[in-house]
Structure 1
Amino acid sequence: MACKGNLLVCTPLECETVEEVLSSMEKARAEGADLVELRMDTMSFPHISEVEKLLKQRTMPVIVSFRLKSSKTSSKGNCNNTCLQVLRLAIELDAEFVEMEHEVATDVNMTKYMDRRSNSKIIVSSYVHNGDLSEEKLSCLIACMQSTGADIVKLVIDVVYITDLAPVFHMLTHCQVPLIASAVGDRGLISQLLAPKFGGFLVHGSLGSKLVPGMPTLVSLQQVYKIEHLNADTKVFGVVSNPVGHSKGPLLHNPAFRHTGYNGIYVPLLVDDIKEFFSVYSSSDFAGFSVGIPHKEAAVGCCDEVHPLAKSIGAVNTIVRRPDGKLVGYNTDCEASITAIEDALRERGVAKGEASHNSPIAGKMFVLVGAGGAGRALAFGAKSRGAQVVIFNRHYERAKALAVAVSGEALPYECLSSFCPQNGMILANSSAVGMEPNSDQSPISKEALRAYELVFDAVYTPRNTKLLKEAEEAGAIVVSGVEMFIRQALGQFKLFTDGLGTHPSLN
């Protein structure tokens, strides 16, 4: 099924003056917007003549909207009158789109508004609470909104979990009237990014660097996701994580898809319950996933098949949906992290005139901070290279269980900074300590870092963490999490696009 018509990209403007709105229009145009939404309820215009002036001087297509609940008008009666006055004027001045709330559209004689217009399209919008997100309730609501005479229907959706959006995507695909779906909050971000695939009429993006939960920026829509290329056949990939805002996966995978000619999009997926996520998004449209914090261990149980390496580690960071619908789990973290560390040690060895075919990790004490999914990959990788693994974790029992699995040793987290049985050790941080927004933190004291030959940090936002800065000052080789991220992502991309159409089996 092809997308319905040409997708429009819109940015909402909330400004105080006509001059500010006109200036913002030019910025919106430069960032790729096709039209802007004028939120008249947020503007403090002293007189209706200011609205008329704005509409006559507009430099690009507009949606004129007025939301009663957020209006700055003092009384309800005045608010209703102002709303109707503004919307009527917008129609008379041929605003490209005029948006009415459903309750307004049902209270007024819509025929009067329809008769006044020559070019304006009427959007009827409704706020949908989480409890009303079943396909049956949405179908009834859309039918009621369409019966008002609406040209376009808009749903503003209250999303508690990312799985709440599944019936919305179904409505986008099957709705007989042009439909806009705009979910509120970070878990609703894919309502915008995937709207072109499922047939949405319009996508919202924020202007400049303004961060709006659930809304991508205009720049990212144009440069990262390039949504104009999406269609019904586009395969969806994404990073399943919580938090997910720090992920750089979209910056790597989306350009790679375009470079190879693969019809795919890679999106952030803020997931609370990974098992429920996979049970809801079970169609072949959702073809592959990176798995991040804190789901890597739980992901093992979500897969129909698990690669032997991932099974032995007990953590999956990559899931591919095969053509038969089965989910297959892999781990690309292990080799990515260990080879990044090995290459850095070999580079130092070559500089010193040393060369060896053995792993430079062999026989070294490998001190690991964190026993989650990434930590398990590092521990098993270090063990496979012949290192002596020592594990520190805030929950000692988790560290102990991992230590048993790799024939290593677990010690209390509080002892990390005082642990110094020898010099020339390797330190690997797989915990989230030091990740934005807590970039002022480090899992170990600066003084303790003198005992380490190399320090690796799986955290890559920021790239140069406090741990790495202090390790470099202490004279250690430092390896950024960016190295691991790029290597594991390359492994994932090969799994996602194997044969540019088929996925590998475990046989």
Structure 2
Amino acid sequence: MTCERLPVMPLPFHLVTLTHATWGQALTCARSLGPGALPELRLDLFPEADPGDLVRALGGRCLVTCRRQSEGGRWPDEDEAGRLAYLLRAVAAGPTWVDLEWDLPVPPELQAARPGVGLLRSVHVAPGVFDLDQRLAALPEGDAFKWVGWAGRLGDNGRLRPALAWARNQGVALSAFLMGPKGLPSRAMQGAWGGAFTYAAPDDGPAAAPGQLPLATLRAWRCAQLGQSHGLCGVIGDPVLHSRGPAFHNPRFQKAFKNLVYLPLVCGDADEAAEALEALGILGLSITAPLKLTLPRALGQEGPLNTLWRRSLGEPWQGANTDAEALGQALSQLEPGPVLLLGGGGVGRTSRAVLEAAGRPVLQASRQAPVAPGVVTAFAPVGVMQATSLGMKPEDPPPFPELLEAALPSARWAMEWIYKEDTAFAAWARQAGLELVSGAALFDAQAEAQSRRFLTDCAGASRQPTADS
């Protein structure tokens, strides 16, 4: 008499690694995920527990993994026999999926559990190694496959696209992505490029690997619904992972039923950025430091610019400086008169040009061109504009405090570009009773101008609303 084996349960798009400090926290998270996400039970993170008990606590609904230290896990590499024995104890409890390294033979105990237990074959390659095509040419036994590399350059993400498209066309359940901050696009665009699933950090726990995004972020960006027709926009610079851009633009794209997605793109070099624009097929860009001058120049544009867009790949770029537009609009509502401008970088240059175009006298101070407090007092500025990078970090002090003190007798308003509400400069302005134009207000104004251009002029196809929109 033979027993009928159950078919493999398909992997959902989101696999959430349980990285919590305690099993109780991990279990609570796993039970809250819902059917659209599967918990990844990393046995190496809970080495003192009985692996069968962990699987049974999850009702068997999990992907079981036991990761070596050399692949980002905690299990000692020298104890391979112990690791596999621990993994097979979990298999005996009946998980829905188990992760086995790409090059290992399938143990008899795991073979006996199939196909009721799905087999995911995984490999993590060293930085600089890119052997995805060779591995896909000789797939091991398995039901799904995971290849993980490292992003040394932003454009490296684009190298995954042909392999992911091939896998989709062949019906191969593949996830191929790159670790590190520059690998973020490969995680978010996994479904759009042809990948069958991607990994997420729990919303209440740390990331398991560099560049892993929280589940709530992937869901907010609707990464599971992205398709081949989706165009890519983003904010490029370094740092950008803190940017409010994705939270601002993605809801507008979604509300307009526009097939565009907006991501943070970590890159501080203009040549590398220009290469990535083509490798990733980018249609729209918000540009931030340090690229506002250098990237437009690399593309044949006059900077500084903070916005680039094009209708489709191969068409010429169009550029604008919506920072200047937002600043001009804000200045028109403020008391006229001379302005003390703090900062000499790209934002400082943009600010000075707008101030002078508005007919306002400008006294500019920077580390390269210092100004004495007595000069500020004699200049009697009615406004103080903060255009330095100070304020990006919570511990940052106010810029040029001696100049701020000298400006107080005549100052009536203050403005800054850092869009955090709790900067030291903002606190100084509020304490002094000045009218304050916050960085958040300037961000919203310039981002709205960017969004209009992306929605109108980028070729992400408009679509009709659906039940899951």
SS at 1:435 equivalent: coil
Deviation at 1:383, TM superposition (A): 1.0
Equivalent residue for 2:361, pick from 388, 403, 419 = 388
Equivalent runs, 1:121-140 vs 2, <5 Å? 121-133=118-130, 137-140=131-134
> Deviations for 1:260-282, whole angstroms, at most 9, x for unmatched residues?
11111110000132322222331
**Contact 1:464/1:480, CA 8 A, preserved across alignment:** no
1:472-502 deviations in whole A, cap 9, x for unaligned? Answer: 2223211101111111111111111216749
- CA-atom RMSD in angstroms: 2.7
Deviation at 1:422, TM superposition (A): 3.8
Residues 114, 75 of structure 1: alpha-carbon distance in 2 compared, 3 angstrom cutoff: closer
Structure 1 residue aligned with 2:467: none
Distance 1:417 1:225, change over 3 A: farther
In 2, Cα distance between equivalents of 1:254 and 1:502 = 13
- Give the drift of 1:157: 1.8
Q: Which has the higher contact order (CA 8 A, sep 6+)?
A: 2
Q: Which of the numbers 129, 132, 142 marks the counterpart of 2:136?
A: 142
Q: Is residue 382–residue 411 contact of structure 2 (8 Å, CA) maintained in 1? A: yes
Q: Give the letter for the 1:319 counterpart.
A: L
SS at match of 2:234: strand
**Structure 2 counterpart of 1:403:** none
Amino acid at match of 1:248: R
What are the Cα deviations for residues 196-220 of structure 1, in whole angstroms up to 9, with x where unaligned? Answer: 2111121222112445341221122
Aligned twin of 1:44: 47
**Number of equivalenced pairs:** 442
Q: 2:88 matched to which residue of 1?
A: 88
1:390 Cα offset (Å) = 1.9
Q: Alpha carbons of 1:421 and 1:210: their partners in 2 closer, same or farther (altered >3 Å)?
A: farther
Deviates more, 1:6-15 or 1:484-493: 6-15
Residue 52 of structure 1 aligns to a residue whose secondary structure is helix
SS at match of 2:262: strand
Q: Aligned partners of 2:440 and 2:237: how far apart in 1? A: 17
8 A contact 2:342–2:399 mirrored in 1: no
AA of the residue aligned to 1:68: R
- Give the distance between the partners of 2:349 and 2:141, measured in 1 at CA: 58
Distance 1:149 1:470 in 2: 64
Distance 1:443-1:265 versus aligned 2 partners, 3 A rule: farther
Structure 1 residues 61-80: aligned runs within 5 Å:
61-69=61-69, 76=78, 79-80=79-80
Corresponding residue of 2:321: 331
TM-score (norm 2): 0.86
1:318 aligns with 2:307: yes
| More deviation, 438-447/330-339 | 438-447
For residue 37 of structure 1, what is the amino acid of its counterpart? Answer: E
Q: Note the residue ranges of structure 1 that are not aligned, 5 or more in a row.
A: 346-359, 397-411
Instruction: Determine which of 485, 491, 495 is the counterpart of 2:443.
Output: 485
Alignment of 1:402-421 (within 5 A): 412=370, 415=372, 419-421=376-378
Structure 2 regions of 5+ residues with no counterpart?
A: 1-9, 462-469
Alpha-carbon distance in structure 2 between the residues aligned to 1:118 and 1:419: 77
> Contact 1:168–1:181 (CA<8 Å) still a contact in 2?
yes
CA contact (8 A) 1:16 1:45 kept: no
Contact kept, 8 Å, 1:12 with 1:204, in 2: the verdict is yes
Are the aligned partners of 2:260 and 2:460 in contact in 1 as well (CA < 8 Å)?
no
The answer to whether residue 212 in structure 2 is matched with residue 203 in structure 1 is no
Given that residues 125 and 153 in structure 1 are in contact (C-alpha distance below 8 angstroms), is that contact kept between their aligned partners in structure 2?
A: yes
Corresponding letter in the other structure for 2:310 = R
User: 1:11 matched to which residue of 2?
Assistant: 16
Q: Contact between 1:14 and 1:43, CA under 8 Å: does it hold in 2? A: no
Matched, 1:367 2:340: yes
Q: Does the Cα contact within 8 Å between 2:233 and 2:263 map onto a contact in 1?
A: yes
Q: Say whether residues 1:458 and 2:450 are aligned partners.
A: no
Query: How many percent identity over aligned positions?
Result: 24
**Take 2:227 and 2:12, find their aligned partners in 1: how far apart are those partners?**
10
8 Å CA contact retained: 1:63, 1:98:
yes
Residue 246 (structure 1) shift: 2.2
Cα separation, 2, equivalents of 1:171 and 1:443: 52
Q: 1:270 to 1:394 in 2, by over 3 A?
A: same
Assess, with a 3 A threshold, how the Cα gap between structure 1 residues 63 and 458 changes in structure 2: closer, same or farther: same
The equivalences for 1:256-275 within 5 A come to 256-275=252-271
Answering whether residue 468 of structure 2 is matched by residue 495 of structure 1, we say no
**Bigger Cα displacement from structure 2, 213-222 vs 431-440:** 431-440
Query: Counterpart of 1:436?
Result: 393
**Is the CA contact (8 Å cut-off) linking 1:130 and 1:164 kept in structure 2?**
no
Q: TM-score, with normalisation over the residues of structure 1?
A: 0.80
Q: One-letter code of the match for 2:202?
A: L
